């Protein structure tokens, strides 16, 4: 709609919008996270939800204890290989539309512990991640910025056509393969439909 016409109508007390804007406005302003802290980043997440950096004013009103009632999973902390199947299982139990924020270096790529024998090098190997927050740990302001980035991402999702959210797309998968415990490593070591190892450039350092 023409912006000039819209502002004229607004002055007369008539407000116009699109169904898409209204739908996404409702969705993005009430994203309820799942209580999911694994390690040190969880402390920063708790700090973000407390009085000084209040996350509730952005719509994350309560951290839901049950995945069935949550919209957002903030993976905060190192994901160990022993914990990885449970993370994927909890993600599968969340109803659509659901989003994932990978908080901290460990959730993005294994972080400072990536050479560990029990560290999963990034949760995006098994579940689709929408926003990554670098940092070790990221400050509460960074988590707020990531939350706002997620809200902007939700806002830009159209209702029809390409890029529509998964719950409006019957062909899109919403449950992903849960890794099993193998003899030496998780099986499969990553979900090949979600994550491919990035190419290695020949130029060293």
Partner 1 sequence: MIALDRIKSQLEAAVPGARLEIVPNDSPSGQRSLLVDNAHAAAVAERLRDDPELRLDYASNVTGVDWPETELSEKVKIKRVVEGVESEVEEIRKTLRPGYLEAVYHLYSMEKKHGPVILRMRTENRTDKARLPSLTAVWRACEFQEREIYDLYGIVFDGHPDLRRILMWDGFQDHPMRKDYVEPDDFEYEPTPHDEVLERAKRHHSREAAT
Binding site for partner 1 (CB under 8 A): 81-82, 109-110, 114-115, 117-118, 121-122, 181-185, 189-190, 197-200, 203-205
Residue closer to partner 1 by CB (options 104, 110) is: 110
Backbone angles phi, psi at 188, to 5 degrees: -80, 155
Residue closer to partner 1 by CB (options 46, 90) is: 90
Shortest distance, CB of residue 205 to partner 1, whole angstroms?
Answer: 5
Shortest distance, CB of residue 191 to partner 1, whole angstroms?
Answer: 13
In three state form, how does the secondary structure of 31-82 look?
CCEECCECCHHHHHHHHHHCCCCCCHHHCCCCCECCHHHCCEEEEECCCECC
Q: CA-to-CA distance for 127 and 94, rounded, in angstroms?
A: 12
Shortest distance, CB of residue 201 to partner 1, whole angstroms?
Answer: 8
Of residues 146, 147, 152, the one with CA closest to residue 25: 152
Residue closer to partner 1 by CB (options 88, 143) is: 88
Shortest distance, CB of residue 134 to partner 1, whole angstroms?
Answer: 13
Q: Are 139 and 90 in contact (CB under 8 A)?
A: no
Shortest distance, CB of residue 165 to partner 1, whole angstroms?
Answer: 29
Q: Are 32 and 72 in contact (CB under 8 A)?
A: yes
Q: Are 104 and 64 in contact (CB under 8 A)?
A: no
Residue closer to partner 1 by CB (options 65, 182) is: 182
Residue closer to partner 1 by CB (options 18, 86) is: 86
């Amino acid at each position: 709609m023409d912006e000039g016409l819209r502002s004229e109508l607004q002055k007369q007390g008539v407000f116009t919008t699109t169904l898409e804007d209204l739908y996404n406005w409702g969705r993005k302003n009430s994203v309820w996270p799942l209580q999911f802290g694994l390690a040190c980043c969880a402390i920063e997440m708790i700090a973000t939800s407390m009085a000084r950096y209040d996350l509730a004013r952005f719509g994350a009103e309560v951290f839901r204890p049950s995945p069935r009632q949550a919209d957002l999973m903030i993976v905060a902390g190192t994901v160990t290989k022993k914990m990885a199947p449970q993370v994927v299982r909890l993600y599968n139990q969340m109803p659509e539309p659901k989003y994932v924020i990978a908080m901290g270096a460990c959730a993005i790529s294994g972080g400072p512990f990536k050479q560990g024998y029990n560290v999963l090098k990034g949760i995006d190997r098994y579940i689709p991640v929408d926003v990554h927050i670098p940092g070790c740990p990221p400050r509460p302001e960074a988590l707020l910025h990531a939350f706002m980035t997620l809200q902007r991402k939700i806002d830009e999702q159209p209702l029809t056509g390409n890029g529509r959210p998964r719950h409006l797309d019957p062909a899109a998968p919403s449950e992903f393969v849960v890794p099993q415990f193998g003899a030496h490593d998780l099986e499969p070591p990553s979900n090949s439909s979600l994550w491919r190892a990035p190419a290695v450039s020949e130029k060293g350092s």
